[in-house]
Amino acid sequence: MNELVMALGWLGIYAPMALGAVASAIGCAIAGQASIGAMTETDGGYGRFVGISAFPSTFVIYGIVIMFTLNREVTPENSPGLFGVGILAGIAMLYCGIWQGRACASAINAAKEKPEIFGLALAPAAIIEGFGVFAFVFALVISGGISG
């Protein structure tokens, strides 16, 4: 039983980085596919489409920082905290990355039809980024209270 508790603690430490990487990969892929489609339908402005498709890449960075913040000696006493914070922050980032990729894809599709709304079309993706930042800050603050 003690080995399982310890394994869950280690899982909690590395989950934010892994789930953040998955979030970034999926989100960038979704937005990137829309970017490629937009490039085939427009005569210019390709750089902005590619730039938008990279927005979800921030979640892997957040995950790496959380991983380093949680990284400490794993004990039976701190394993539940490490697991809870790491898994929940990672899941939050996973969802944010996927949905931000979808929001970016929508912004790309809208901007190819109506270039003048380019900046405004990014607002939903920025709001979703804010939710990811909330999870990031939560994990950093809470991790300070986990013994180590």
Is the pLDDT at 148 greater than 80? The verdict is: no
Block residue for tokens 């490490």:
82
Domain topology for 2-143: Four Helix Bundle (Hemerythrin (Met), subunit A) (1.20.120)
The pTM assigned to this predicted structure is 0.92
Indicate the pLDDT class of residue 145, thresholds 50, 70 and 90.
Answer: very high
Block residue for tokens 């960038």:
28
Domain layout of the chain by residue ranges:
2-143
Q: What Å distances lie between residue 81 and 9, 12, 134, CA to CA?
A: 8, 8, 18
Q: Average pLDDT, stretch 34-55?
A: 90
Block residue for tokens 């990355």:
97
Higher pLDDT, 64 or 115: 64
**Arithmetic mean of pLDDT over the chain:** 95
* Cβ–Cβ < 8 Å for 108, 49: yes
Indicate the pLDDT class of residue 44, thresholds 50, 70 and 90.
Answer: confident
Q: Which amino acid is at 76?
A: P
Least confident of 9-13, 31-35, 56-60, 114-118: 114-118
